[in-house]
């Protein structure tokens, strides 16, 4: 990435090869995959699966070549939640074992986010605690919805309480809670739908009072928080509009304007436009922006080339915050030893 400072990537996806082979053999688990050759796969009837998803040796080679010191791993989002399908407790354990295996074979360059059992909310909190204690995960990954349930549903209140108690970093990544027919063409599900899902999920967490009830949550939003930065003023209008237009529910659960909660959140650099990243840094400050790449996906910034022009305009101290300092500060006692 052409950097002289430490690079820690907060947004990277991976699965163990064992789990990929399990998907091939187990209909309904994860992705529908087909074998195309030795250690090579494709989505059923479709595009090839990038080997960098599951080939840990190749991943480490790329990281070394690009100067990335550490990646924080989560499974690809669509295996966590996709429409009405949401990860069960048994599936969460499989994916957590997958991430733990990758970390153990990562030469000190990989750390993991736990997948909670969002499909079984009553068990999610206890299972998260078990996974963190068993595998030493540094944080937790949350999809933007759990099938028909939004994250602000009361069923998830114990999960947020546990995340706070464990002092875990939260990485939030969108998935498709409802895929409309308009999103089925032109990759709109990923290009437009997913950033919108983040915006909707966080707005609900604000207006429902979840973020006010849990002020110690440390949430990093993928893809620069979707469209939240652009809509901050509009969200405030829902809270402060004249009585004829305001929805009373927008004031019922919070005591301050929605935009102030956005300043408490954190944003990765995967916005695909240096000018947009400049805007994000100006809006929320270098203390609230973290390096992410969406590795190894093409619709991302896998080599950091789209973010680096904006980061290179920062002072050395601010650049170091974004590329490594902020995430180490937020990880706190969970921060892994740097190889």
Cα–Cα distance measured from residue 217 to residue 213, given in angstroms and rounded to the nearest whole number = 10
Task: Indicate the residue among 38, 53, 68 that finishes a domain.
Answer: 53
Contact in structure between 73 and 66 (CB atoms under 8 Å): no
3-state secondary structure at position 146: strand
pLDDT at 339: 63
For range 273-278, the mean pLDDT: 94
Are residue 111 and residue 231 in the same domain, yes or no?
A: yes
Instruction: Tell whether the model's pLDDT for residue 210 goes beyond 90.
Output: yes
The reply to whether 168 falls in a domain is: yes
**Does residue 3 carry a pLDDT above 60?**
no
**CA dihedral (165, 129, 329, 170) positive or negative:** negative
Q: Show the domain range for 32.
A: 17-53
Give yes or no: residues 160 and 48 share one domain. no
Same domain, 92 and 223: yes
Kindly state whether residues 145 and 223 are assigned to the same domain: yes
Contact 118, 152 (CB under 8 A): no
Indicate if 44 and 69 belong to the same structural domain: no
CATH number at residue 317: 3.20.20.140
Question: What is the Cα–Cα distance from 334 to 339, expressed in whole angstroms?
Answer: 15
Task: Specify the pLDDT at position 46.
Answer: 87
Confidence of residue 246 (pLDDT cuts 50, 70, 90): low
User: Is the same domain home to 47 and 150?
Assistant: no
In this prediction, residue 74 carries a pLDDT of 97
Decide: 338 and 110 in contact? Cβ < 8 Å: no
- In this structure, are 25 and 170 located in the same domain? no
Burial 134-168 (b: 16+ CB within 10 A, else e): ebebbbbbbbbbbbebbbbeeebebbbebbbebeb
pTM of the model as a whole: 0.95
pLDDT bracket for residue 5 (50, 70, 90)? confident
Where would I find the H helices in the chain? 17-25, 56-66, 89-104, 121-135, 157-166, 188, 194-207, 210-213, 228-240, 249-252, 258-262, 274-284, 308-311, 316-320, 326-331
Q: What is the pLDDT of residues 136-162, one digit of tens each?
A: 999 999 999 998 899 999 999 999 999
Q: Is residue 247 part of a domain?
A: yes
What letter does residue 177 receive in the DSSP assignment?
A: S
Structure token pair of residue 98: 């997958």
Please report whether residue 249 resides in a domain.
Answer: yes
Instruction: State yes or no: pLDDT of 92 exceeds 60.
Output: yes
Residues 28, 109, single domain; the answer is no
Chain segment 279-329, per-residue pLDDT in tens: 999 999 999 999 999 999 988 888 888 999 999 999 999 999 999 999 999
pLDDT at 90: 97
Q: Are residues 309 and 191 in the same domain?
A: yes
Could you tell me the pLDDT band of residue 244, with boundaries at 50, 70 and 90? Answer: low
Structure tokens at 223: 């893809």
User: What is the structure's pLDDT at 269?
Assistant: 97
Residues 46 and 63 in one domain: no
Quote the number of domains for the chain.
2
Domain co-membership, 158 together with 27: no
Quote the longest CA-to-CA distance of the chain: 65
| 174 and 31 fall within a common domain | no
């Amino acid at each position: 990435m052409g950097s002289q400072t430490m690079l820690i990537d907060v947004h990277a996806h991976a699965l163990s090869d064992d789990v990929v082979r399990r998907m091939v053999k187990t209909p309904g688990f994860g992705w529908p995959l087909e074998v195309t050759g030795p250690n090579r796969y494709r989505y059923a009837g479709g595009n090839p699966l990038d080997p960098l998803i599951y080939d840990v040796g190749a991943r480490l080679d790329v990281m070394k070549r690009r100067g990335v010191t550490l990646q924080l791993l989560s499974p690809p989002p669509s295996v966590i939640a996709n429409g009405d399908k949401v990860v069960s407790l048994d599936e969460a354990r499989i994916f957590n074992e997958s991430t733990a295996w990758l970390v153990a074979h990562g030469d000190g360059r990989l750390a993991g986010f736990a997948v909670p059992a969002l499909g079984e909310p009553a068990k999610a909190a206890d299972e998260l605690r078990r996974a963190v204690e068993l595998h030493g995960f540094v944080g937790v990954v949350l999809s933007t919805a759990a099938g028909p349930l939004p994250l602000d549903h009361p069923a998830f209140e114990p999960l947020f309480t546990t995340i706070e108690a464990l002092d875990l970093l939260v990485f939030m990544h969108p998935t498709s809670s409802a895929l409309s027919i308009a999103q089925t063409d032109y990759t709109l599900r990923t290009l437009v739908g997913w950033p919108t899902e983040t915006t909707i999920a966080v707005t609900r967490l604000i207006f429902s009072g979840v973020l006010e009830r849990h002020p110690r949550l440390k949430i990093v939003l993928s893809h620069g928080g979707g469209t939240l930065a652009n809509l901050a003023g509009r969200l405030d209008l829902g809270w402060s509009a004249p009585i004829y237009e305001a929805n009373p529910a927008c004031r019922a659960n919070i005591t301050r304007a929605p935009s102030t909660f956005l300043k408490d959140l954190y944003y990765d650099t995967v916005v695909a436009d240096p000018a947009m990243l400049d805007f994000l840094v100006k809006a929320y400050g270098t203390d609230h922006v973290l390096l992410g790449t969406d590795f190894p996906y093409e619709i991302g910034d896998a080599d950091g080339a789209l973010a680096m022009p904006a980061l290179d305009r920062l002072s050395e101290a601010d650049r170091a915050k974004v590329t490594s300092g902020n995430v180490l500060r937020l990880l706190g006692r969970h921060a892994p030893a740097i190889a």
